Amino acid sequence: MTTLDRMLQGLPRKAQNTIYSSFDTLRMMGSVGNLKVAASMAPSAFRGLVLGTAREGDAVQMPGHHAAHYTLTYGDEFPEMYDLYRRAVANQWNGDRDLDWSIDVDPENPETAVMPLDYPPFEGLEAKGIRLNAKEKLRFANDVAAWTLSQFMHGEQGALYAAAQVTESVQWLDGKFYGATQVMDEGRHLEVFLRYLDTKLQKVYTINDNLFVILDDLLTDGRWDVKFLGMQIMVEGLALGAFGTMYNFTREPLLKQLLKYVIQDEARHVHYGVLALREHISKALSPAEVREREDWAYEVALLMRNRFLSHEIYYEWFEGRLSLKDWDEIILNARSMSAFRHLMFMRLIPNLEYIGLMSERIKAHYAKAGLTSFLGGKNATQLSAEDLLRDISDYKAPPAVH
CA distances from 300 to 36, 53, 213, 217, 357 (A): 14, 20, 10, 10, 13
Q: What count of other Cβ atoms lies within 10 Å of the Cβ of residue 76?
A: 15
Q: Is 382 in the site for other proteins (CB under 8 A)?
A: no
Q: Pick from 82, 93, 101, 395: which binds other proteins (CB under 8 A)?
A: 101
Number of residues that bind other proteins (CB under 8 A): 35
Does residue 100 interact with other proteins by CB under 8 A? yes
Other beta carbons within 10 angstroms of residue 2's beta carbon come to 8
Candidate list 5, 77, 106, 136; residue touching other proteins; CB under 8 A: 106
Alpha-carbon span 262 to 246, nearest angstrom:
12
Between residues 23 and 395, which has the closer beta carbon with respect to other proteins?
A: 23
Q: Is 236 left (phi over 0), alpha (psi -120 to 50) or beta?
A: alpha
Encoded one letter per residue, x for contact with other proteins by CB under 8 A and - for no contact, window 24-43 reads -xx-----------------
**Rg of the chain in Å (alpha carbons):** 21
Q: Which residues of 101-118 are buried (b: 16+ CB within 10 A; e: fewer)?
A: eeeebebeeeebbbbbee
Choosing from 186, 295, 299, 312, the residue that interacts with other proteins (CB under 8 A) is 312
DSSP string of 46-111? IIIIIS-GGGSSS-------------SS-----HHHHHHHHHHHHT---TTTSS-TT----TT-GG
In the list 19, 132, 290, 332, the residue contacting other proteins (rule: CB under 8 A) is: 19
How near is the Cβ of 199 to other proteins at its closest, in Å?
A: 5
How far does Cα 129 stand from its chain's mean position? 31
Q: Looking at 285-323, list the stretches that DSSP marks H as alpha helix, in order from N- to C-terminal side.
A: 287-306, 311-317
55 binds other proteins (CB under 8 A): yes
Q: Does 103 sit near other proteins (CB under 8 A)?
A: yes
Q: How far is the CB of 120 from other proteins (least distance, A)?
A: 17
Q: Which residues of 378-401 are buried (b: 16+ CB within 10 A; e: fewer)?
A: ebbeebebeebbebbeeeebeebe
In this chain, which stretch among 30-38, 177-185, 308-316, 390-398 interacts with other proteins, using CB under 8 A? 308-316
Taking the complex as a whole, how short is the minimal distance between the CB of residue 51 and other proteins, in angstroms?
Answer: 8
Is residue 60 within the footprint of other proteins (CB under 8 A)?
A: no
Cα gap 60→58, rounded to integer Å:
7
Binding status of residue 111 toward other proteins by CB under 8 A: no
Stretch that binds other proteins, among 193-201, 260-268, 269-277, 391-399 (CB under 8 A): 193-201
Residue 50 near residue 223, CB atoms below 8 Å? no
Distance between CA atoms of residues 177 and 167, nearest Å:
8
Judged by beta carbon, residue 52 or residue 376, the one nearer other proteins is 52
- List the one residue from 5, 136, 198, 289 that touches other proteins (CB under 8 A): 198
Our finding on whether 204 is near other proteins (CB under 8 A) is yes
Give the residue, chosen from 7, 27, 42, 52, that forms a contact with other proteins under the rule CB under 8 A. Answer: 52
> Which residue, 167 or 210, has its beta carbon nearer to other proteins?
210
Nearer to other proteins, 97 or 368 (CB): 97
Residues at the interface with other proteins (CB under 8 A): 18-19, 22, 25-26, 50-52, 55-56, 96-108, 194-195, 198-199, 202-206, 312, 315-316
